[in-house]
Amino acid sequence: MSGDERAVSHQEAAIATAETCWGFLDDEVLQAEADDVVEYWLDAAHPTPIAELPETIEIHEFRRRIVVCQDGSRQLEDLLEKLDEEYGNMEGYTAPTPAMKAAAEAFVEAVVAEYHVWQCEPTGRTETVNVLDWVKANRPGWLTETP
């Protein structure tokens, strides 16, 4: 594995475990840190002269979506329907018992507890970054480069 691949893997791991991420509303790429978003954006804009870049950019905080599962009744109904189609009495259906309902709810709770949510949604928090100030602090060499 190359150094670049290790860096990407490390960055993806940081994003995957972060409770919040940063990015642009119109871009699917999210970063673990706000500075990483600015760096990503500047890398995409480079070699555009710094004078041609916008004075500021606005980045947004995102958080993992929350899984909404009411209960296991739908999963239980689907399973019972499949079982009835294959093994049941053609003139009726199997009604879920209290034990089946409890098992279905426990199943859904266990799956949701272990499920890793990847999708994110904006939190409403934004940061406005002065591009020139950020470059001076983090990439001063860009100010002396000529494209």
pLDDT for res 130: 96
Residue 39 shares a structural domain with residue 91 = no
- The ranges of the chain with pLDDT < 50 are 1, 4-11
Residue 16 shares a structural domain with residue 56 = yes
Amino acid 74 reads R
In whole angstroms, give the CA distance from residue 99 to residue 130. Answer: 60
* E-state strands within the chain: 20-23, 30-31, 56-64, 120-130
Residue 42 shares a structural domain with residue 24 = yes
Residue 47 shares a structural domain with residue 20 = yes
Residue 53 shares a structural domain with residue 108 = no
Residue 51 shares a structural domain with residue 14 = yes
Helices and strands (DSSP H and E) totals, the chain: 5, 4
pTM: 0.66
Residue 49 shares a structural domain with residue 79 = no
pLDDT for res 77: 94
Tokens 């993992």 belong to residue: 64
In whole angstroms, give the CA distance from residue 86 to residue 22. Answer: 49
Instruction: Give residue-wise pLDDT tens across range 31-62.
Output: 999 999 999 998 887 677 888 889 999 999 99
Cα 116–chain centre separation:
10
pLDDT for res 147: 52
Into how many domains does the chain fold?
2
Smallest Cα–Cα separation from 106: which of 128, 73, 84? 73
Residue 93 shares a structural domain with residue 133 = no
pLDDT for res 120: 92
Residue 58 shares a structural domain with residue 86 = no
In whole angstroms, give the CA distance from residue 71 to residue 104. Answer: 8
Domain that holds residue 133: 3-66+117-143
Residue 56 shares a structural domain with residue 82 = no
pLDDT for res 49: 81
Amino acid 17 reads T
Beta carbons of 121 and 93 less than 8 angstroms apart: no
Residue 99 shares a structural domain with residue 53 = no
Residue 55 shares a structural domain with residue 13 = yes
